[in-house]
Amino acid sequence: MFELILSTALIFMTLSVLATIYRLVKGPSVSDRVQALDSIGINLISGVAVTSVLLRTTAFFEVILLIGILSFIGTIAFARFLERGVVIEHKRSK
């Protein structure tokens, strides 16, 4: 019963990722695409977490942390590019 619930959750997460990929491709503005990328990262994290509960292992926790860090940095880079037009400034404007 427990495994059935977890598998159903995984299936719905996959559907959610697919729906987000539609927004990623179709999205009218760049902000929509950035948010879609971030949302895909969060869905991946939850998918890995559910999988590690399903397999009864702690081996994937580092994967969760790494996906979280990379998705965070990627979202910040895109946000800075949208707001300032430059990702890494050479000299900070005080």
Partner 1 sequence: MKEPNDVILRSVTKVAVLIILTFAINLFFSGHHNPGGGFIGGLAFASALTLLFLCYDIETVRENIPVDFKAVTAVGVLISVFTGIGGIIFDRPFLTQAFDYFQLPLFGKTELATAVLFDIGVAMAVIGTAITIISSISEDR
CB of 80 to partner 1, least distance (A): 6
Residue (26 or 84) nearer to partner 1, CB = 84
Q: Identity (one letter) of the amino acid at 14?
A: T
Of 59, 33, 63, whose CA–CA distance to 45 is shortest?
Answer: 63
Which stretches of the chain are assigned E, i.e. beta strand? none
Nearest CB to partner 1, comparing residues 3 and 62: 62
Residue closer to partner 1, measured from CB, 7 or 31: 31
Query: In whole angstroms, what is the distance from residue 54 CA to residue 46 CA?
Result: 12
Residues found near partner 1 in the complex (CB under 8 A): 59, 62-63, 65-66, 69-70, 72-73, 76-77, 80, 83-84, 86-92
